[in-house]
Amino acid sequence: MQPDYIVVGAGAAGCIVAARLTEDPTVNVLLIEAGGSDRNPIITMPGALPFVYQRRQLQWGFRSGPEPQLGGRTIDEKMGKVLGGSTSINAMIWNRGNPMDFDGWAADGLADWDYAHCLPYFRKLETWEGGADEWRGGDGPM
């Protein structure tokens, strides 16, 4: 069977895209992930986070470029290489990003990337335990 779509990466975004595509029963989706299962005790145990970050089997080991404000040093960029991607190794932290970053991108020419334009998509994505309000979603896949 030929897939209609190929989604690369079974992190939060890839899984959500694949799930939404397959809401149409006539669509076939192939979801590809480079890593293995996230059902590893080292991932599920919060106290083992430092060990997760050291294991190349669980994360890609990316580093930033030299950071001028840090005297040219680099920063570890933790990106999960397991089912669930970075969502599986992020110590249960959810972060949308700083609204000023979005507004800065808009000021640099990406008009539809300001925070006000992105907020409805964040809300659609989220299920917040306190229920939906003007800032948070109530029935999204995350």
**Helix (H, G, I), strand (E, B), or coil: what is residue 128?**
coil
Same domain, residue pair 38 and 19: yes
Interval 13-59: pLDDT, tens? 899 999 999 999 999 999 999 999 988 888 988 888 889 988 889 99
Interval 62-105: pLDDT, tens? 999 999 999 999 999 889 999 999 889 987 677 788 999 999 99
Are the C-beta atoms of residues 12 and 84 closer than 8 Å to each other?
yes
pLDDT of residue 81: 93
Kindly tell me the number of DSSP H helices and DSSP E strands found in the chain: 6, 4
Same domain, residue pair 89 and 24: yes
Burial of 103 (0-12, 13-18, 19+ CB in 10 A): middle
Same domain, residue pair 90 and 113: no
Q: Which domain holds residue 79?
A: 5-97
Structure tokens at 80: 């999960």
Q: Would you give the distance in Å from CA 14 to the centre of its chain?
A: 8
Q: Would you give the distance in Å from CA 135 to the centre of its chain?
A: 19
For residue 114, pLDDT over 90 is answered with yes
Same domain, residue pair 76 and 112: no
pLDDT of residue 6: 98
pLDDT of residue 45: 87
Are the C-beta atoms of residues 56 and 63 closer than 8 Å to each other?
no
